[in-house]
Structures are given as C-alpha cells and as structure tokens.
Structure 1
C-alpha cells in the first residue's frame, strides 16, 4: 500500500486563498432577501426533520413562526411537545391530521381534515408576523387530491407576503409546486432500519 504524498502547506494555503477570493466575489453579488417557498420531498427520511430544524432556527432568532401538520396529528411527537411546552409564544402549532390514509380508511374525512388544515395554513401565511410557516406532509394531501394543487400554487404565488418563508414537506411533490419553489430538496433513500425489521423509535422518527 503506497503512502500518500506529504501535504504542501504553502501550496494548500494558496489554493484555499484563491478559492476564498472566488467565493467572496460570488457572495458579494447575493444581496437580495425574500420569503422563500421551500419544498422537501423524496423517499428518504429527513423531510420533516429538516423542516423542523428551520422552525427551531426561527425560534432561536426570536422570529414568530407556525406549523400545520396535514397528516401527522393522531400521535404525540417530540417536536410538537417541545414547541407547545416551551415555545408556544413564538410558534403556533396546529396538528390537524388524524393519521395516514391507510389508518383512517375514510376518504371523505381525510378530505375534510385536509381542507380545514389548508384553511388554517392560509390564515397563518396571510399574517405577516409569521416569518416562516411549515406545512408538514401537505404533499401527501396534494398527491391524493385532497387539495387542489392549482389553488395552492395560486395562493402561494399571489397571496404569500413577500418576506414570509413557507416550507412544504412530503413525498411525491407535484411538478407544479416544484416549478414555483425557490429551494427544493429531494431526500434519497439509501438505507432504512425498517427494512431490517426495526420499528419507528422515539427520538429518531417522532
């Protein structure tokens, strides 16, 4: 096994200085601020987790924010408990789902709950005091046509306050939503313990 050649500290420093200068030049052109439409989708784990990370950043900065859960709601989660117990003055939390569709087995009820959650979401987004609103698992409601994608897109484009960030999570994000997104991330599944017989665990999944 051959040894790696020694690192030339001076050459490395020069290379990093050149990289920093190029990066600083790029960053100097990024001066705009706006409320973003952010989409987390894909089959991999971490969509809601990453979104809640953004919510907790807002809380840490003293920025009022809100969460609407479209599917989850029938069971307690760590995020909800922490926000409601410690940060309810900064973050409104509305768990308006009753579980996944295969659990409720009542399409009419699912549609009713999704519509109610969307009405609450619009109310929260319209209020300019909220710097960020998380619509958790709304993509599932859109996938099953519990909500009209055109209505959601039109609202976000035409009525969202200019400085409000809206984060939308869930698998199978509609193309129409991805089209208007400022930031879209697809979580790719590489491995998951569920496939090895490991159930959802507290602190990891909820």
Structure 2
C-alpha cells in the first residue's frame, strides 16, 4: 500500500469514527452539578481536584475550598487561589492529620466546624464549585456521620453546583451517591526511596 493509499484509508477510518462519536455526543444533553470523588492510595487526588478548581476559576466561576485536614499547610495551590479574592473563598479548618494532633475530640470538633462551612459554601447561590479537601479522611475515622453527608449531597446540594471530595478510603455510601469517582493507584513513589516532599510537587 502506498503512503497516499494509507493516508486515504486513515482519513476514511477517522471520518467514520468521528461520525460515531458525534452520534454518541448528541445523546448527552443533561446539564447538572456533579458530585466528584477522588480516592485511592496514589498521589494526585487533591492535585487533580485543584486542577478542576483552576479550570472553573478560568471560566469566571466563583469557587470555595474547605480543607478538612491540611489547614496548617502552606501550598502552592493556596498561594495561587489567594490571588483571586473576588472569586475564591478558602477555609483551612484542620490542624493536621489525626496522628499529628493525637486529640480525637478536637479532630471531631474541627471536622464538624468544617462540615458546617462546607454546607454553607455549597448552598451559597453565588458559588459554582466547592472542593472538600480530605473529607474522606474524617469520614474514614467516623468524625462525621456518613449518612448525614450523603443525605445532604443527595437532597440539598443545588442542582448546578459541583462538589469535589478528596482523600483515601472513600466510603461505599459516598461512592454510591457520586456522579464521578476516580481511584488513584500507587505504582511508585519517591517517598519510599527516602525522598522528602518536594516544593511544587507535593505542596
């Protein structure tokens, strides 16, 4: 087969593929705010969620970030978002991971306060995108009742508001109510080779 024949064959194949894709896309007509969960042991859960936040911000949408655990961290994402105070609300309401605080009651109180802030942000009619960073962690330790979180997301979240939830070990009930769930799989991580967290990569 000559290069010209190969190119013609490829063009015909791609034409058929495009027609099939266009037909599928024509059936997707629903517009709605999504509940999105990023979970798993691999790196990138919060990173991907902040990427969505930046994307939403790029469209001029008002966004809110509630951090359930990483409140004491100074991150590159936080520094960028703070440059847009007219469109971004950030509430860092944790005091570190539970093995750092070593105070279960304080962790529960922080989780409850963060959840109240999260609900207020989600119900704010001006806010289009809400990131609940590390909510899965507090749910894993039962610092918040999973049934209350699921009921709110299912019954009270405004239809056009996107909510992204991050953290390992997402509970089955949350996965069930979510529209989009991604599990990050760990294959290799430099931490296992003695490399500490790197500025611009981990935070």
CA distance in 2, matches of 1:167, 1:99: 20
CA distance in 1, matches of 2:23, 2:146: 39
Cα shift readout 1:85-110 (whole Å, capped 9, x = no counterpart): x1111010001111011111111111
- Aligned equivalent of 1:142: 139
Cα shift readout 1:60-79 (whole Å, capped 9, x = no counterpart): 11100100000001121111
- Aligned equivalent of 2:124: 127
Query: Number of paired residues?
Result: 201
- Aligned equivalent of 2:63: 65
CA distance in 2, matches of 1:88, 1:70: 20
- Aligned equivalent of 2:111: 114
Moved runs in structure 1, 4+ residues, more than 3 A? none
| Residue aligned with 1:73, SS | helix
| Residue aligned with 1:94, SS | strand
User: Map of 1:116-195 to 2, 5 A cutoff?
Assistant: 116-195=113-192
- Aligned equivalent of 1:98: 95
Cα shift readout 1:11-68 (whole Å, capped 9, x = no counterpart): 1111111111000000011111001000000000000000000100111111001000
- Aligned equivalent of 1:55: 53
- Aligned equivalent of 1:31: 29
Distance apart, 1:116 and its partner CA = 0.4
CA distance in 2, matches of 1:132, 1:75: 22
CA distance in 2, matches of 1:123, 1:36: 17
Normalising by the residue count of structure 1, what TM-score does the alignment of the two structures yield? 0.95
Q: 5+ unaligned residues in a row in structure 2: which ranges?
A: none
Normalising by the residue count of structure 2, what TM-score does the alignment of the two structures yield? 0.97
| Residue aligned with 1:200, SS | coil
CA RMSD of aligned residues (A): 1.2
Distance apart, 1:10 and its partner CA = 1.1
| Residue aligned with 1:146, SS | coil
CA distance in 1, matches of 2:14, 2:189: 37
| Residue aligned with 2:111, SS | helix
CA distance in 1, matches of 2:95, 2:79: 17
- Aligned equivalent of 1:198: 195
Matched, 1:82 2:80: yes
| Residue aligned with 1:133, SS | strand
